[in-house]
């Protein structure tokens, strides 16, 4: 499993619910919102003013090490 900038937030959460903790720790507190499930990681990062590349590394490292 690997996350890309185009992966939807809902898909990331389906991969592993532990990703929710990574997203919320980074400042994305809307992961439980139904609308966020249809946003790509890149779109969500723009809305929240986050560094998508940094978050992408964190998510993929977590998934690779589980």
Give Cα 32 to chain centroid, integer Å.
12
| Tens digit of each residue's pLDDT (9 = 90 or more) over 19-51 | 999 999 999 988 888 888 899 999 999 998 999
Which are the contacts of 60, defined by CB distance < 8 A and separation ≥ 6? 2, 3
Phi, psi of 8 (to 5 degrees): -75, 145
Separation of alpha carbons 52 and 66, rounded Å? 21
Structure tokens at 29: 């507190």
The pLDDT value given to residue 40: 96
Give Cα 44 to chain centroid, integer Å.
8
Domain range annotation of the chain: 9-64
The pLDDT value given to residue 63: 97
Structure tokens at 62: 């977590």
The reported pTM is: 0.91
The pLDDT value given to residue 20: 95
Average pLDDT, the chain: 93
């Amino acid at each position: 499993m690997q996350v890309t900038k185009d992966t939807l937030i809902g898909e990331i959460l389906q991969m592993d619910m532990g990703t929710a903790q990574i997203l919320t720790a980074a400042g994305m507190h809307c992961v439980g919102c139904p609308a966020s499930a249809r946003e790509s990681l890149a779109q969500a990062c723009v809305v929240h003013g986050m560094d998508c590349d940094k978050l992408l590394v964190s998510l993929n490292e977590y998934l690779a090490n589980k």
